[in-house]
Amino acid sequence: MNKLTKLKTIFLVSLTLFLFQACSSGDVADSIYMNGDIYTADANDSKVEAVAVKDGMIMAVGSKSDIIKFQGTETNMIDLSGKTMTPGFIESHGHLMGIGYNKLELDLMYVKTYDELVEKVAEAVEKVEPGTWITGRGWHQDKWIEKPETMHKGFQTHDKMSAVSPDNPVYLRHASGHATFANQRAMEMAGINSLSIESLQSKVEGGEIIKDDLGNPTGVFTERASTIIGRLVPRDTPERQDQALEMAIEELLQKGITSFHDAGSGQDFIDRLQRFKAEGKLKVRQYVMLSGRQPALLEEWYEKGPMIDPDHMVTVRSIKLHCDGALGPRGAWLLRAYSDRAGHFGHETLPMETVEEVATIAVDKGFQVCSHAIGDRANREVLDRYQAAFEKYPDVNSKDRRFRIEHAQHIHPEDIPRFGQMGVIAAMQAIHMSSDRPWAIDRLGEERIKNGAYVWQELLQSGAVIINGTDAPVEPVDPLPSFYASVARKTLDGFPEGGFEIDQAMSRAEALRSFTIDGAFGEFDEDFKGSIEVGKVADFTVFDKNIMEIPEMEILDTKVAMTIIGDEIMYAAGE
């Protein structure tokens, strides 16, 4: 071989090695996840052995032998050790600041009797100066294992609580957020007494001041009547608001939540999220609904249009409207009177003309509308207003609108198919079925419960998309009890044995989709997240048990092992 040939050979070999190394370096994964059960939530509900990730995005999924080819010397090999990995769980309806405040105020979620509530208030009084407000949330009279001796319209009276807090105003929100309980001191400050109650009631539309048989206020206020005292509660300092947000974010990570839909907030909250993002403290992806209770806020956003974050961390493109109350305080708006309160139909808490007006503007401006509607009349009225708005813009595709009804707990059978026909998303929280079904039958009666309450399969068969969540802090911000309720339709202690209306249960694949890819669809982000597929972000939730196969009751014992966002482990159990 002459010298020229040798040089050519050396050059070609060197070039080949260079090109091979260049190509290989481009195919080397930053991370590989393997040795676990990996459920993708893709169109085929596939299960794979391993996932390769580069630059925070999924580059390959498949068998272990296929994915191991992407391993390089710097690849982070994450051994799942038999655990189960799914797409990152998406909480599709919650109240982020409320989650944080539950840790800073009286948490009454697990109180089992009125006497226990009084005891917690008494303990709080001992820790503060006279005159200091005592606030909290989470009481629910229908979940108490023992009812008070004196009740009016299904609620307790303030007497015992006032006796232990004579010098401190007390303001406690119902678990649903649709009623409040105040003591004598707080009512005195608001000017509420037997002489003023009728005058004040006349000024509050869409709410009720509950009174006893003698016309005295009991301390319970439902729906918009709560504002009579709520407006007196001092505003939190910015420092305390930051603390609440930080605590809420950490709680989400511990519960495996990678994305969160905040159900109704104002500009201050959005600004705080933006600041947290800039400071690297946000961690969990946020999808914010603008509060419809602030008309001036909506006008400002109509002018500037949706804010769609290219980083997928803080997106604002929806509007939350509060159209009725909740079943617990009998505020849900019904077509027929409550079974346990004759002549009472609940409350229309927002004029339906406003719903149609906002919906029409939203279609034009590119905003999604998310309307709180629990009762069958509220659902029907909202669907009617959505339909009127859609008809004004017939060329706008339903996938470009993706209007939602939040909760959709009780729907008249004639209105169930309309969700699929109109492309309206049912943003439901399966855990409400588990928590509410035992007592909700008293509110609605057997017929309405069986034919129109928590009808997940009928909605799915209509072609509707169901997205899941917890409505935290109404319920704990833990998706696993809601996942369990989706498939078992039982209370958290396993009652009844066969489940409530079990024909409406979701399959486990449907339940997983409601927390992942369908949740992403509910915020227009299904091309970026929600399933484990090539080209999507590496947001994963890892559980210590296989929630897709273990017995139902074991789902409730399952723990989050890791929460991963953009290929970064944000939470690891035990660390």
Residue 236: which pLDDT band, with cuts at 50, 70 and 90?
Answer: confident
Residue 489: which pLDDT band, with cuts at 50, 70 and 90?
Answer: very high
Distance of alpha carbon 99 from alpha carbon 90, whole angstroms:
16
Distance, first Cα to last Cα, the chain: 63
Q: Of 233, 238, 229, whose CA–CA distance to 271 is shortest?
A: 238
State the pLDDT at residue 110.
87
Calculate the CA dihedral of residues 482, 486, 487, 490 and round it to 10 degrees: 70
Right CATH for 98-230 from 3.10.310.70, 1.20.58.390, 3.30.428.10, 3.20.20.70? 3.10.310.70
State the pLDDT at residue 3.
53
Mean pLDDT for 163-175 is 94
pLDDT over 70 at 174, yes or no: yes
Cβ proximity of 454 and 501 under 8 Å: yes
Residue 87 CB neighbours (<10 A):
31
Q: In the block, which residue shows the tokens 């104002």?
A: 266
Contacts of 187 (CB under 8 A, 6+ apart): 158, 193, 217, 219, 229
Judged by DSSP in three states, 205 sits in coil
Cα angle, residue 146 at apex, residues 144 and 148 outer, rounded to 5°: 100
Percent of the chain, pLDDT > 90? 87
Distance of alpha carbon 129 from alpha carbon 365, whole angstroms:
50
Instruction: Render the burial of 410-431: b for 16+ CB within 10 Å, e for the rest.
Output: bbbeebbebbbebbbbbbbbbb
> Helix crossing, 376-392 with 352-365: angle to 10°?
40
Judged by DSSP in three states, 41 sits in coil
Q: In the block, which residue shows the tokens 């009349």?
A: 377
State the pLDDT at residue 206.
83
If you average pLDDT over every residue of the chain, what do you get?
94
The identity of residue 483, as a single letter, is: F
Cβ proximity of 50 and 59 under 8 Å: no
Positive or negative, the CA dihedral 215, 217, 222, 223 is positive
User: What 8-state DSSP symbol labels residue 554?
Assistant: H
Cα angle, residue 440 at apex, residues 414 and 136 outer, rounded to 5°: 125
Residue spans of the domains in the chain: they are 13-82+530-575, 98-230, 352-506
Residue 71 CB neighbours (<10 A):
15
- CATH 1.10.10.10 for the 352-506 domain, yes or no: no
pLDDT over 80 at 526, yes or no: yes
- Determine phi and psi for 325, rounding to 5 degrees: -100, -150
Cβ proximity of 388 and 350 under 8 Å: no
pLDDT over 70 at 231, yes or no: yes
State the pLDDT at residue 16.
40
Residue 6: which pLDDT band, with cuts at 50, 70 and 90?
Answer: low
Q: What pLDDT, in 10s, does the model give residues 130-154?
A: 999 999 998 999 889 898 989 999 9
- CATH 2.30.40.10 for the 13-82+530-575 domain, yes or no: yes
Greater confidence, 7 or 534? 534
Lowest mean per-residue pLDDT among 148-157, 403-412, 441-450, 475-484: 148-157
Residue 2: which pLDDT band, with cuts at 50, 70 and 90?
Answer: low
Would residue 276 be called left, alpha or beta, if left means φ above 0 and alpha means ψ between -120 and 50 degrees?
alpha
pLDDT over 60 at 25, yes or no: no
State the pLDDT at residue 15.
41
pLDDT over 60 at 557, yes or no: yes
State the pLDDT at residue 13.
44
Per-residue three-class SS string for 35-73? EEEEECCCCCCCEEEEEEEECCEEEEEECHHHHHHHCCC
Q: In the block, which residue shows the tokens 């609904």?
A: 289
Cβ proximity of 412 and 374 under 8 Å: no
pLDDT over 60 at 571, yes or no: yes
Q: Of 480, 72, 49, whose CA–CA distance to 255 is shortest?
A: 480
Longest CA–CA span in the chain (Å) reads 116
State the pLDDT at residue 20.
41
On whether the pTM is more than 0.85, the answer is yes
Mean pLDDT for 369-381 is 98
Q: What pLDDT, in 10s, does the model give residues 68-104?
A: 999 999 999 999 999 999 999 999 999 999 999 988 8
